[in-house]
């Protein structure tokens, strides 16, 4: 029986060590990667787990919202810079000057 080392919350992706010392990465119960090197198995596990995380509808929605707010921040920064520049112009006679 193999020993579970790491697993995602839904246990779709698992990292296990076999009795012979081989590390295996399982996705939905199927072995997709096997090695004797723990660090290589960890990297492969992280890549597979990230693929699963990025495919979730919640993550996609968060990514879209983040992109929207980033674009909004760029636009508002530009607007603030322009309005601050326009306020510096003027003086006693107003913006047109005397």
Over residues 64-79, the pLDDT tens digits come to 999 999 998 888 887 7
Give percent helix, percent strand, percent coil of the chain, each to the nearest 5.
50, 20, 30
Tokens of 76: 């508002």
Q: How far apart are CA 20 and CA 23, in angstroms?
A: 9
Q: How far apart are CA 86 and CA 98, in angstroms?
A: 17
pLDDT at 12: 82
Q: What is the pTM of this model?
A: 0.55
């Amino acid at each position: 029986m193999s020993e579970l080392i790491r697993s995602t919350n839904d246990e779709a992706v698992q990292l296990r060590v076999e009795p012979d010392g081989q590390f295996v990465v399982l996705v939905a119960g199927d072995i997709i990667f096997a090695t004797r090197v723990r660090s290589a198995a960890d990297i492969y596990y992280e890549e597979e787990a990230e693929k699963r995380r990025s495919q979730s509808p919640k993550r996609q929605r968060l990514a879209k919202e983040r992109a929207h707010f980033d674009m909004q921040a760029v636009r508002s920064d530009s607007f603030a810079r322009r309005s601050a520049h326009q306020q510096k112009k003027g003086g006693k006679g107003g913006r047109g000057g005397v």
